[in-house]
Amino acid sequence: MTAALSKACLRPMTDAVATAPALPAGLLAALTDLLGPSGVITDPADLEPHLSDWRSLYKGRSPALLRPASTAELSAAMKLLFEAGVPVVPQGGNTSMVGGAMPDESGSQVILSLQRMNKVRDIDPVDMTMTVEAGLVLKTAQDIAAEQGCLFPLSLGAEGTATIGGVLATNAGGNTTVRYGNARELMLGLEVVLPDGQIINGLRRLRKDNTGLALRQLFVGAEGSLGIITAAVLRLFPQPRESAVAFCAVPDEDAALALFRRFRERDETAIRAFEYMSGTGIDLTLKHIEGAVLPIGERADHYVLVDLASSRPNAGLAEMLESVLEGAFEAGEVVDAAIAQSDAQRHAIWRLREEHPEAQRKEGASVKNDVSVPVSKVPELIRRASAACQALIPGTRPVPFGHLGDGNIHMNLEQPVGMDPAEFLARSHDIMDVVNDVVRELDGSFSAEHGIGRLKTDMLADWRGGAEYETMKRIKAALDPKGLMNPGKVFF
Ligand SMILES: Cc1cc2nc3c(=O)[nH]c(=O)nc-3n(C[C@H](O)[C@H](O)[C@H](O)COP(=O)(O)OP(=O)(O)OC[C@H]3O[C@@H](n4cnc5c(N)ncnc54)[C@H](O)[C@@H]3O)c2cc1C
C-alpha cells in the first residue's frame, strides 16, 4: 500500500521575510530581564543560522532565540511562554535530517537553544555514569569520558555538532548501535522542563528503578514535542584496549549478511560496527572527497566495513579478524579485503563510510530514506528498493549504505546523470513511496533513526494509525495541553 503523502511536507526553501510578527507586548522585555541580554537573541543576522536546516529543506522565521544558562532560568522562561501561549521549538546542534529543529514560516515560534547549558555536572568511573547538560556537544561528551578512561559509545557523522539533548530527543542510533544500543539504551536518568515550566528531576544514576511509569523514556525520541530535556545521566563503558578494522569487497548483498553472521557466530561481543556500502557510494566518495583512496586493488559493487573492539587485554582481535575473513574467502563471501595496520588507516577506512552524505551532496540532488527491516531482510530491501526506484526514474543511482548489523539502511537515491536536480527532487515523495512500499512489505519502519520531524508527520499518521497513533496523541495532549511544544513536528 502506498502512503498518502502530502507534497507540502517536502517544501523547497523559500526566502525568510525579514520582519517577523512581534511577540505579545512586554514578553521580550520580561524574557530579557530573566535571561539577560545574551540570553535573548533578536538580531536577524544572529538568528539567520538557526532558520534553515542541515539538508536545506526548510526555511523558517522566528522572533527570537532564547539561550537560558540554567534549568531554573529555562523553567521560568517556559512559564512566561506558556502563559502567553507562545510556541517553542527546541534546537540543539540543528543537524536534524527531517527538519525537526526548524521554526515554521509563521514567524510566531520562539527557538530555544541550550548552547549555554553545556556543563558536565558529574562523572563517576565507579558508577560508570556521567551527568551532563543537554547543550553539551556529543563529541565533547565522548572526549571528557575518554579523559576519565571511559567510553561514551554513541557515535555518528554529526557528532562534532549534535548535542546530548538532540541525540536523546531523536533517540539517535549511529555506528555503534549494534554493540551498545541507541541513545535510549545509553540513558539512565533525565531532567526535563515541561511546557508549563515545571521541572521533572529524574537524574537518578540507577541501573534498576522500577518506580511507576518510566517517564524519562517518554521524552527520548519525542523530538521536543513533549518537553525540554535539560540534563541526562549517561551510561559509560570501559574504553576498548584493542580494535581491528577491515574494508571488504563482497560479491553481493547476501554475502554481506553472511559475513555479518560469520562474525556474530565467532564473537558477537567483539563487533563494534558493521556497515554496508554500495559500489556507487564508494565511487562517489572517491570522486568527491579529497584524499579518499580505495584500500583494495579493484572496485566492487558491494563493500562492508567491519570494526571489532574489545576492552579485554590481549583479545586477539587481529587474529580473529584474519581467521574469519579467511573462512569467508574460502566460502566466496569476500573477494578482497584490507585490514588497517594503524590508526591512520583505520581513520581512512572509516572516512570512506562517513563521507557518503557529503559525496552525494557534491554529486547533485539526492533523496534520503532512513529505513529499517529485520536484519535477515536487508539484502532483499536493497535489491527490491533499488530496482523499484530505477523503474520509477530510469537512470536513478541507488546509494544504499549504513548500519547493516541493525537492519538500518540509508536507502538513498542519487539523481540520474544530467537530470535537472529540481526535477529529480520534485519526485521525492514518489521515490519515498516506492521505497516505503518495499519496507512495509518487509515488516520494516519508514524511519529507523532520524525520527519524524516535519518531513514525515503524515507517514507517522499513516503507518502508526489506529490505537497506536491515538495513544501518542493523548500523551501529547496530556503533557502539552496548549500544543506549544515544537508544533507541526512528529504529529500531523
Ligand atoms: C552528517 C550527519 C550524520 C548523521 N548521522 C546520524 C546517524 O548515524 N544516526 C542518527 O541517529 N542520526 C544521525 N544524524 C541525524 C541526527 O538526528 C542528529 O545528528 C542528532 O541526533 C540531532 O542532534 P542535534 O543536537 O543536532 O539536534 P537538532 O537537530 O537541533 O534537533 C533534533 C530534534 O530534537 C529536538 N531537540 C533538540 N534539543 C532538544 C532538547 N534539549 N530537548 C528536547 N528536544 C530537543 C529538536 O526540536 C528536534 O526535533 C546525522 C545527521 C547528520 C547531519
pLDDT per position as a tens digit, 347-403: 999 999 999 999 999 999 999 999 999 999 999 999 999 999 999 999 999 999 999
CA pair distance 364, 422, nearest whole angstrom: 10
Q: 356-363 vs 279-288: helix axis angle to the nearest 10?
A: 80
Residue type at position 231: A
Element (H, E) at 262: helix 253-267
pLDDT number for residue 220: 98
Distance, CA 156 to ligand 1 centroid (Å)? Answer: 10
Q: Is 167 in the pocket of ligand 1 (CB under 6 A)?
A: yes
> Is 92 close to ligand 1, i.e. is its CB under 6 Å away?
yes
> Residue 458 is which amino acid?
D
Q: CB of 169 closer than 6 A to ligand 1?
A: yes
CB atoms within 10 A of CB 107: 17
One-letter identity of residue 341: Q
Angle at 292 between CA 291 and CA 293, to 5 degrees: 110
Compute, in angstroms, the gap from residue 451 CA to the centroid of ligand 1. 9
Q: What is d(CA 353, CA 338) in angstroms, rounded to the nearest whole number?
A: 15
CA of 35 to the centre of ligand 1 (A): 25
Whether the CB-CB separation of 158 and 97 falls below 8 Å is answered with: no
Centroid of ligand 1 to alpha carbon of 164 (angstroms) = 9
Q: In 3D, which of 78, 40, 79 has the Cα closest to residue 62?
A: 40
CA of 300 to the centre of ligand 1 (A): 33
Does the Cβ of 162 fall within 6 Å of ligand 1?
yes
User: Three-state SS for 338?
Assistant: strand
Judge if the beta carbon of residue 172 lies within 6 A of ligand 1: yes
Rounded to the nearest angstrom, the distance between the alpha carbon of 92 and the centre of ligand 1 is 7
Q: Which helix (H) or strand (E) element contains residue 288?
A: helix 279-288
Distance between CA 327 and CA 262 in Å, rounded?
9
- Ligand 1 contact via 415 beta carbon (within 6 Å): no
C-alpha of residue 453 to centroid of ligand 1, in Å? 10
**Whether the CB of 96 sits within 6 Å of ligand 1:** yes
135 lines ligand 1 (CB under 6 A): no
Cell numbers found for residue 304? 562492508
Cα–Cα distance for residue pair 137/158, rounded to 1 Å: 10
SS percent in the chain: helix, strand, coil, step 5: 40, 20, 40
As a whole number of angstroms, the distance between CA 212 and CA 223 comes to 23
Cα dihedral 238/201/135/490 (nearest 10): 100
Bridge partner residues of 132 (DSSP): 120, 232
- Dist. CA 172 → ligand 1 center (Å): 7
CB 90 less than 6 A from any atom of ligand 1: yes
Helix (H, G, I), strand (E, B) or coil at 270: helix
235, 187 Cβ separation under 8 angstroms = yes
The residue whose CB lies within 8 Å of the most ligand 1 atoms, and thus the one to mutate among 97, 355, 366, is: 97
Model pLDDT, residue 21: 57
The rounded Å distance from CA 229 to ligand 1 centre is 13
Q: What percent of the chain has pLDDT over 90?
A: 93
**How far is 102 from 51, CA to CA, in rounded Å?**
6
The residue whose CB lies within 8 Å of the most ligand 1 atoms, and thus the one to mutate among 52, 56, 170, 223, is 170
DSSP H stretches of helix in 312-456:
317-330, 343-354, 356-363, 378-392, 421-425, 428-441
How far apart CA 339 and CA 317 sit, in angstroms, is 11
Establish whether residue 195 lines the binding site of ligand 1, counting it when its CB lies within 6 angstroms of any ligand atom: no
- Model pLDDT, residue 86: 98
Q: Is 225 exposed, middle or buried (0-12, 13-18, 19+ CB in 10 A)?
A: buried
CA angle 122–128–129, rounded 5-degree value: 40
Contact by Cβ (8 Å): 134, 227? no
Could you tell me if the CB of 145 is within 6 A of ligand 1? no
Give me ligand 1 centre to Cα 101, in Å.
8
- Dig out the grid coordinates for 87 from the structure: 510556541
Q: Which amino acid is at 175?
A: N
Among 95, 155, 200, 479, which residue has the most ligand 1 atoms within 8 Å of its CB, making it the best to mutate? 95
Instruction: Tell me the DSSP string of 112-181.
Output: EE-TT---EEEEETTTTEEEEETTSBHHHHHHHHHHTTEE-----TTTTT-BHHHHHHTT---TTHHHH-
In this prediction the pTM is: 0.93
Task: Indicate if ligand 1 lies below 6 Å from the C-beta of 492.
Answer: no
Q: Is 177 in the pocket of ligand 1 (CB under 6 A)?
A: no
Long-range contacts, 418-423 (Cβ 8 Å, 24+):
419/364, 419/393, 419/395, 421/364, 421/365, 422/12, 422/365
**Contact residues for 483 (Cβ-Cβ < 8 A; gap 6+):** 87, 476, 477
pLDDT in tens, the chain (492 residues): 233 333 333 433 444 444 445 799 899 999 999 999 999 999 999 999 999 999 889 999 999 999 999 999 999 999 999 999 999 999 999 999 999 999 999 999 999 999 999 999 999 999 999 999 999 999 999 999 999 999 999 999 899 999 999 999 999 998 999 999 999 999 999 999 999 999 999 999 999 999 999 999 999 999 999 999 999 999 999 999 999 999 999 999 999 999 999 999 999 999 999 999 999 999 999 999 999 999 999 999 999 999 999 999 899 999 999 999 999 999 999 999 999 999 999 999 999 999 999 999 999 999 999 999 999 999 999 999 999 999 999 999 999 999 999 999 999 999 999 999 999 999 999 999 999 999 999 999 999 999 999 999 999 989 998 999 999 999 999 999 999 999 999 997
Measured in angstroms, how far is the CA atom of residue 448 from the centroid of ligand 1? 13
